[in-house]
Amino acid sequence: MKTFFLIVFAVLLVWQTAVWATRDPGAADENASETAAEAEEAAFQLTDAEWRARLSPEAYRILREHGTERAYSGKYWDQKKDGIYQCGGCQVDLFSSADKFDSGTGWPSFTRPLSDEVVGTQTDRSFFMVRTEVHCARCKGHLGHVFKDGPEPTGLRYCLNSAALAFRADGEGPLRNP
């Protein structure tokens, strides 16, 4: 009888060790952040009426209808202040003035976002062109396009619409919804 219990104990011990050995230490955290990201994203799945109420007509046209503002017409193309450019739809931080450059196009241009996770891209075949569309990863609002003719260090040019962005100067608190 004693031998039987010893065998059972040994089997359980080996099994438990195997379970722990195959366990990915980061798995639990990843799942947690995934859930948080999903929850955050879900919070910005607004109805069309809610977006219309939240945004100016110009911001709605660009963010929700993939519009483009006229070159040199936006408020940020020539701005040189230090700060963070946020999504005009959901106010998440997207781009830094440190990565902004004068592209000569009349649209605010950046070499990179704050991180690869804050923006998403998809192929845009409108207007008989193949371009890469850029949107906010959280609320899916359309921001502009990214081209491969940018300066160092990335060689990329994120060509964005001012009306799709909000700006928080260094030292200022978070922006309130427009």
**159 assigned to active site:** yes
**Contact window for Zn ion (CB under 5 A) among 45-53, 74-82, 88-96, 153-161:** 88-96
Read off the tokens for 23: 């366990």
**Binding test (CB under 5 A) with Zn ion, winner from 54, 64, 100, 138:** 138
Please tell me whether residue 141 binds Zn ion under the rule CB under 5 A. yes
Could you tell me which stretch among 2-10, 76-84, 115-123, 129-137 binds Zn ion (CB under 5 A)? 129-137
Distances (CA, A) of 117 to 15, 74, 87, 95, 155: 38, 26, 13, 12, 19
Q: Is 143 in the site for Zn ion (CB under 5 A)?
A: no
Q: Is 139 among the residues that bind Zn ion (CB under 5 A)?
A: yes
Q: Which is nearer to Zn ion, 10 or 43 (CB)?
A: 43
Cα(18)–Cα(21) distance, rounded to whole angstroms?
5
Confirm if 158 and 95 have CB atoms less than 8 A apart. Answer: yes
Q: Return the residue of 136, 146, 156, 165 that touches Zn ion, per CB under 5 A.
A: 136
Q: What are 117-122's contacts with CB under 8 Å, separation 24+?
A: 118/92, 118/93, 118/94, 119/94, 119/143, 119/158, 121/146
Task: Provide the binding-site residues for Zn ion, judged by CB under 5 A.
Answer: 87, 89-90, 136, 138-139, 141
Residues annotated as part of the active site? 159
